[in-house]
Chain A
Amino acid sequence: MFYPATSALVIKQPSVALTLLFPLVLSLAIAMPALAATAVISNERSGDLVFMDAVGETTDVIKLCNRPRGMAQHKSTNSLYVACSDDGNVIEFNLDNKQPARLFAELPGAMSVAIHESSNRLFVTNEGAAKATVLDIASGNVLATLPTGHEPDGVALTEDGSLIFIASENAGIVHVYDGINYQPRQEIITNLRPRRLTIRNQELWVSSEMGSRVEIFNTENLQKIDEIVFAPRGFRSEQLTPVDILFDASGDTAFVALGSANHVVIIDAVKREILKYILVGRRPWGLGLTPDGKRLFVLNGLSDDVTIINLDTRRPVKTSRTGLVPHSVEIIE
């Protein structure tokens, strides 16, 4: 698939899907208020984006690229940045017209992406190339190439953009870079196979997939504060492979997808206490939360579906079909 590298695509189409689905959306809105959100799911194997409403009905399927994985939203431009791993590029996807708008090329093994909106920068980990790339979104220019260990996956930034954290799965290291001058700050040694990074207050939470735990580091002094080791009933520690971590808007509640254990866990992030393990589909990785904080989308990579959890009751309310090997989900309003 080819998209022009810098100029925006301007083809417009009437939004047929939205028109057709309007009565359905309306009726559901009456039954369940505040469910206007849409989930966008990247599917590694079918190479598409699935658009789904908050009750799990698919509204659109858009073929995009080879092996779309990590995604990030740019809210002020209503764009979604999607890493196309097997194509080695990142696509800027316009959420208004559901069309690809631009292509950031030459990003081999693009895996995870992060956006820093106020500085308009895009951060991409390059899985096979042991590096991460920082791009200026406006110009498309590469601002920096940051060496990492092998298999870099998650990338996260402090809110002010002053520090960049990149997890290298193979090395068992989170590389910390200065977000302004891109100089290396420090290496944080983690447990086995660090995957995803999320920041709340001054805490960096790192999932250790093969260490079966989440490790928590202080983002100021980069020292380890604590760790949460998972142990749902009936499981051995080595079967728990946490990947995605997500906080609610307040940052007080965390959700972690436990991979091979087929569960997602809800954590009191302040007390660092496990509140509940919830059984989902096979190998959950990707997580998304509706803006009202009421519904958690859990992507089950090996059963090609999404489990939607009602967070008031903490129970799954619906399982819906996705594309093949769903990877990441972003919730848009």
Chain B
Amino acid sequence: MLRYVFLTLSLLISTTALSASFEITVVTLENETRQQDGQSFAGITVQPQRPVIRAVELALYESATLFDTLGIDATIQQLSLQPESSIEQQLQSVPHSSLLILDLPPTIMEQAAEIADQLQMIAFNVRNSDDYLRESLCLPHVFHAIPSDRMYFDALGQFLIHRGWRKVLLVQGPSERDIQRASSLVASLKKFGITIVDQRTFTLSHHPDDRDKNKPEFLTGGVSYDVVAVIDSKKDYGRYLQYSTRSARPVVGDVGLTPVSWHFALERYGAPQLNERYRQFLDNEPLGAQVAMTDAEFAAWSAVKLITNSINTRGRQANLDLLSVLTDPLSQVDLYKGTRGSIRHWNHQLRQPVLLATPDTVIAVAPMPKFLHPKHYVDTLGIDEPESDCQLSR
């Protein structure tokens, strides 16, 4: 089902125009029960999830001045995938030059990205941080705008070293995703020389037989640590560890101090202006004061702004052929995080700073001081080129 939500931002054609068109297709899943993602027991929303389209619209709203100047005609459309029908046929129903923003859960995102690559359509993963996708989707036309789990956890690891909190008790959930993400966290912590004093698994059961796994005081007792790191992808247990640990220690990871790519309370780098615009730019749908882009929305916004900003960094005579834009090292994006972003040529991951934040404050912006990289300031975050199994540029 193809739905045009927003048409023709710019009509001014100046004499110096590129006279190009820029089409964006936001791909969603028909009838996805998205609200279940962010909800915990008793209908409490612990991780708000929103469709990324608002952030894409914001990116085009911001791009309008430049696009008007150059006569670039930008359009957004939405493709709601029906899982029973052929994904290939559905992707072929949108213009082939579209920038595909894949606002999809992991499995179907993986399928859609593979098909997009076969069709030689440019696709951005904006929602899935899983490390394995950076390897399974090591494809010339596929890009990742949301940080990988390793980027998030490397940021956390650097922060812990910076603070001198070198002994970590790791508490994780039992799900498959928790196990995968815990192994990413372990790899990050070891990379920076942090000691994991013990690795324990929690259970949601209240049964007295399981009290060593469900009572925070027991789960975090019997061992000495500087900090408790929690992997709880659904945020349905970890929240209760804070202020209940056996030793009075901070909690980090999926609760407490959390690595994120965007935050409502970032007060530097022009971020307040971007946050204000996000809340206010749709006259009829203003958002509340503490609402900001989710990491998926920020990723979608970043992907579009990378294309826009490339005109500034590559020069106006350059064309808007998406593949040449995205593989050009001169293409850079102002991410409102103090350091410009760009695409890692080996695995097509958008490099960017990562924020360490509590629910109400940004505590630090990684890379932390003194974490140095021989080539690029932010490449201490995430799998680096020599370690990566994905080598697209070779």
Q: Which residues of A contact B (CB under 8 A)?
A: 127-128, 148-151, 168-173, 187, 189-193, 210-211, 236, 238-239, 241, 260
Contacts and interface: CB of A to CB of B under 8 A. Distances in A.
Please classify the interface of chain A as helix (H, G, I), strand (E, B), loop, or mixed, using the class held by over half of its residues.
loop
Given A189-B70, A192-B333, A210-B332, 12 more contacts: A148-B65, A150-B62, A150-B65, A171-B62, A171-B66, A172-B309, A173-B69, A193-B270, A211-B313, A211-B340, A238-B339, A241-B338
A74 to B, nearest CB: 29
Interface string B367-382: 0000000001110000
B378 A173 contact: no
B338 A260 contact: yes
B65 A173 contact: yes
B277 interface: yes
A210 B377 CA distance: 14
B350 interface: no
Contacts of B69: 173, 187, 189
Nearest to A194: B312
Nearest to A212: B340
Interface residues of B, number: 23
The 3 closest A-B pairs by CB, nearest first: A149-B65, A172-B312, A171-B65
A127 B313 CA distance: 23
A210 B270 CA distance: 11
B311 interface: yes
Given A189-B312, A211-B312, A238 B273 contact: no
A168 B273 CA distance: 13
Most buried by B among A128, A190, A192: A192
A190 B312 contact: yes
Contacts of A168: 65
A168 B334 CA distance: 13
Contacts of A190: 312
Contacts of B334: 170, 172, 192-193, 210
A170 B281 CA distance: 14
B66 A238 contact: no
Interface in B276-325: 276-277, 309, 311-313, 316
Interface in B52-95: 62, 65-66, 69-70
Given A171-B66, A192-B332, A211-B313, A150 B273 contact: yes
A173 B65 CA distance: 8
Most buried by B among A170, A191, A241: A170
Contacts of A148: 65
A238 B65 CA distance: 25
B62 A170 contact: yes
B314 to A, nearest CB: 10
Given A210-B334, A241-B338, A192 B65 contact: no
A173 B309 CA distance: 11
Contacts of A239: 339, 377
B294 to A, nearest CB: 21
A176 B33 CA distance: 49
Interface of B: 62, 65-66, 69-70, 270, 273, 276-277, 309, 311-313, 316, 332-334, 338-340, 376-378
B337 to A, nearest CB: 10
A238 B378 contact: yes
A172 B66 contact: yes
Contacts of A128: 273, 276
Contact of B273 (A170, A187, A211): A170
A278 B311 CA distance: 33
A10 B52 CA distance: 56
A99 to B, nearest CB: 31
Contacts of B377: 236, 238-239
17 contacts: A168-B65, A170-B62, A170-B270, A171-B65, A171-B66, A172-B311, A172-B334, A173-B69, A187-B69, A189-B66, A189-B312, A191-B313, A192-B309, A193-B334, A211-B313, A211-B332, A239-B339
Given A173-B66, A239-B339, A189 B311 contact: yes
A127 B273 contact: yes
A187 B65 CA distance: 10
Contacts of B378: 238
B18 to A, nearest CB: 11
Contacts of A187: 65, 69
Contacts of A260: 338
A150 B277 contact: yes
B74 to A, nearest CB: 14
Contacts of A193: 270, 334
B226 to A, nearest CB: 28
A189 B315 CA distance: 8
A236 B376 contact: yes
Contacts of B65: 148-150, 168, 171, 173, 187
Nearest to A188: B69
Nearest to B277: A150
Most buried by B among A149, A211, A238, A239: A238
A59 to B, nearest CB: 30
Given A150-B62, A170-B273, A192-B340, A238 B312 contact: no
A128 to B, nearest CB: 6
Given A151-B273, A260-B338, A192 B313 contact: yes
A169 B312 contact: no
A191 B376 contact: no
Contacts of A127: 273
A149 B284 CA distance: 22
Contacts of B277: 150
A241 B69 CA distance: 26
A239 B365 CA distance: 13
Contacts of B311: 172, 189
Nearest to A168: B65
Most buried by B among A127, A168, A171, A173: A171
A150 B336 CA distance: 13
Nearest to B63: A171
Most buried by B among A151, A168, A210, A260: A210
Most buried by B among A168, A173, A189: A189
A170 B275 CA distance: 13
A217 B376 CA distance: 29
A216 to B, nearest CB: 15
A128 B274 CA distance: 10
